[in-house]
Structure 1
Amino acid sequence: MLPEFVSRSREQFPALRRQLNGQPIVYFDGPAGTQVPQSVGDAVSDYLLRHNANTHGAFATSRETDALMDDAHAAVADLLGANYSDLIAFGANMTSLTFALSRALARTWQPGDEVIVSRLDHDANFSPWVLAAQDAGALVKEIDINFDDCTLDIDDFRSKLSSKTKLVAVGCASNAVGSINPVAEITRLAHEVGALVFLDAVHYGPHALIDVTDWDCDFLACSAYKFFGPHVGILYGKRMLMETLRPYKLRPAPENLPGRWMTGTQNFEGIAGVVAAIEYLSQIAGGGGSRRDQLKAGFAKIVAYERSLSAHMLDGLAHNSDVKVYGITDSHRVGERLPTFSIRHKAMLPKQLAHYLGERGVFAWHGNYYALPLTEVLGLEPEGAVRLGMVHYNTPEEVDRVLALLREIG
């Protein structure tokens, strides 16, 4: 029997009522973008149809947009655990915001400086820093992975830190294999040598509570379309850095926070949807208290439930000798991973497997999912793998359906 909060949540997602060939669709494509609850679509539509305007005008719809933006900065600050809403910037997507920040940070680097990136990351937290380092003449070092379970080699990370390290860029969790990184420890070690830390929380965001204050990271980026919202990117940074770094921006753009990091006219209708997505997450547990307290309670339920999904999936895959699973495969270690699984089947190439599943109503991605640093080091290029990614609106019955389809392959 499904937990009550899962049943209640599933009722709010219109996409979950869609069918293919008489069967409900299984959305295991969440790592590339989750489905959205009705309230998010309503918020986007309401803004466009009733409040659409640019900011800072002397008329009603513009003032309403100003109020929306204030609400959005506050809502995202609550989601990320930031103490101040003006430390939140919006942009087109995480990639664009990261490129913009990398250009600004590279202005402070010089030949001989060092930047550390990870082979476990999405390329959006790899190439922007590599390219910025090249422009500045800085050296790039890569953290090795443990090949048996696709986790970061923390001892290797320690060995590569030095007084020359200016930035460490790592993900909170792998978007390919689900491994959760010890970001608080990574940040502490980096700060001990005077380095800044940039965290990519895009894949982590729908699964567990982000806490920039507890982690003490210097920057963090995520994307709302991964946590049940529209296509909007989000950047957090510590005040001193956000105020003193020089972003590339237009002359009329404001110098104060957060405007100096928000390039051009924003996607206001999308940002309205971001607020609605955070409100949805804050109502999952159904309790009281502040919005941050409600989010903590909601994510506690999500984490516990998704761990049960992960264990169910791993136990099922362990009985299929035709399937290779990349990453943590021990169901007793589900606390170290998210419910994201990259697999290969010995009878089909990844594209064929994704097509096979898709024709039977299971939507899953194939390829490298932009986790190119990892698929390269694992030797999975050019075909990549197939990613089965779950969130809290998925069910054990859907896992069983996928496992059965994998067993049926001759």
Structure 2
Amino acid sequence: MAYDVERIRSHFPSLNAGLAHFDGPGGSQTPDVVGQAVADTLTASISNRGTVTASERRADDVVSRFRRTAADLLGADPRGIVYGRSATALTYDLARALAKQWGPGDEVVVTRLDHDSNVRPWVQAAEAVGATVRWVDFDPASGELTVADVEAVLSERTRLVATTAASNLIGTRPPVRQISEAVHRVGSLHWVDGVHATAHASVDVEALGVDVWTCSPYKFLGPHCGLLAADPAWLETVRNDKLAPSSDAVPERFELGTLPYELLAGTSAAIDFLAGMDDLDTPVTDADRRERLLASFRALEEHEEKLLAVLEPALRALPGVTVYSNAESRTPTLLFTVDGVDPQDVYRGLAEHGVNAPASSFYALECSRHLGLGDTGGVRVGLAPYTSQDDVERLLAGLEAVIGSRG
């Protein structure tokens, strides 16, 4: 069936406020079915996981379903799906665990394209054990980060390489599979921040060859939490600090404390909504979820590409506008500045026109600095499944008004 954006929008109560949301890269709006799943789980008869009572079994079913749906979303093994309170928290937790195996002479690689959540945990973990940090730069003009850029810093001493699947600031999508191959040739581990990428295109972590993929459901229509996908056999080799009575089984070993069942249920509902976007009338099942996700993401990419084909050239044609999203392969995310106008003034001006398009470095601190934007960054607009042609027109009209009044 055709991608029906108006019908999709009808499932987002927040859009009734009349705002045009281009702030999805920082957190998407949430469909009604996700909110209902959270509420239903939170108010149901539910207990800690077990097999004796109905409420225990209900909790266990929520967790099992979460692992299945997340695995279908990412092309991963359900036994390697780990819940976390955020992608940042998961990265910090695993960085501390992995650093127990590092020492002086070992090397860790990070890039200047990444969100700080895939930079600082590794830098701090390496420093704590005397390991060396190697930096990979990207081309600030094109926004490209290549395999050769990564290969230039690899050696037999490399223990981990942390890269992004898509820059949350400028949208660049580096060649993940080729980078994984280069990393594995030196016997190292490839950790990928998939937070921004997962919201815009289908993912197959096994085909990409990555060792770890992190993402955040609240960037793809779900509740505020994080998850991680990895090979369960590899997870068995990682030892983290945990309470003595808690399970040492994978993946429970890494999930500290009682799980928030309502957030897991909301995440599953968000993934099912994504899977059904090109056919909202047919329920999604375990048997067809993966194939329907692939079909829905193809439809979503086509929808976003059509909108971007209108938005981007019009944005670049506005007087005084500089666009920093220039890579050949990228998400529908545009970072820009306006000559002589503070990005925060553009942000506030757009808000006066009912358009949400914030300005910042958005925690991609090294990226913003490498672009010459310091810690201030620029204005970021991102497309989402619910973005409409009318939203794009409102954004462009608002920008024309802001530039005209302040430029």
User: Any idea what the Cα deviations from partners look like across 1:98-131, whole Å, max 9, x if unmatched?
Assistant: 0001011111112111111110110000000101
Show the 5 A alignment for 1:70-89.
Answer: 70-82=64-76, 84-89=77-82
3-state SS in 2 of match to 1:152:
coil
Give RMSD over aligned pairs. Answer: 1.5
Q: CA deviation at 1:57?
A: 6.6
Aligned partners of 1:349 and 1:383 also within 8 Å: no
Show the 5 A alignment for 1:192-211.
Answer: 192-211=185-204
Say whether 1:322 aligns with 2:315: no
- Extract structure 1 runs of 4+ deviating beyond 6 A: none
The one-letter amino acid paired with 2:331 is L
Moved more, 371-380 or 223-232: 371-380
Look up the match of 1:100: 93
Moved more, 318-327 or 200-209: 318-327
The alpha-carbon distance between structure 1 residues 219 and 382, as it changes in their structure 2 partners (threshold 3 A), is closer
3-state SS in 1 of match to 2:14:
helix
3-state SS in 2 of match to 1:160:
coil
Look up the match of 1:388: 381
Look up the match of 2:108: 115
3-state SS in 2 of match to 1:51:
coil
Show the 5 A alignment for 1:58-73.
Answer: 58-73=52-67
Look up the match of 1:17: 16
Say whether 1:169 aligns with 2:162: yes
Aligned partners of 1:118 and 1:142 also within 8 Å: yes
Look up the match of 1:33: 27
The one-letter amino acid paired with 2:345 is Q
Aligned partners of 1:151 and 1:327 also within 8 Å: no
The one-letter amino acid paired with 2:25 is P
Aligned partners of 2:24 and 2:382 also within 8 Å: yes
Look up the match of 2:355: 362
Q: Distance in 2 between matches of 1:281 and 1:135?
A: 41
Q: CA deviation at 1:260?
A: 0.3
Look up the match of 2:371: 378
Q: Distance in 1 between matches of 2:119 and 2:248?
A: 28
User: Of 264, 284, 302, which residue of structure 2 is paired with 1:271?
Assistant: 264
3-state SS in 2 of match to 1:151:
coil
User: Any idea what the Cα deviations from partners look like across 1:347-371, whole Å, max 9, x if unmatched?
Assistant: 4211111111112111122111101
The total of aligned residue pairs comes to 397
Q: Distance in 1 between matches of 2:62 and 2:148?
A: 45
Identity %: 39
Q: CA deviation at 1:254?
A: 0.7
Look up the match of 1:21: none
Q: Distance in 1 between matches of 2:319 and 2:183?
A: 41
Aligned partners of 2:50 and 2:56 also within 8 Å: yes
3-state SS in 1 of match to 2:203:
coil
Look up the match of 2:288: 290
Show the 5 A alignment for 1:180-259.
Answer: 180-259=173-252
Q: Distance in 1 between matches of 2:226 and 2:180?
A: 22
Say whether 1:50 aligns with 2:44: yes
Q: CA deviation at 1:146?
A: 1.0
Q: Distance in 1 between matches of 2:331 and 2:345?
A: 25
Aligned partners of 2:25 and 2:196 also within 8 Å: yes
Q: Distance in 2 between matches of 1:327 and 1:366?
A: 15
Aligned partners of 2:88 and 2:117 also within 8 Å: yes
Q: Distance in 1 between matches of 2:30 and 2:91?
A: 25
The one-letter amino acid paired with 1:387 is R
3-state SS in 1 of match to 2:298:
helix
Q: Distance in 2 between matches of 1:5 and 1:89?
A: 33
Aligned partners of 1:310 and 1:338 also within 8 Å: no
Say whether 1:349 aligns with 2:348: no
Q: Distance in 2 between matches of 1:197 and 1:362?
A: 38
Aligned partners of 1:306 and 1:338 also within 8 Å: no
The one-letter amino acid paired with 1:11 is S
The one-letter amino acid paired with 1:42 is Q
Aligned partners of 1:232 and 1:267 also within 8 Å: no
3-state SS in 2 of match to 1:58:
coil
3-state SS in 1 of match to 2:70:
helix
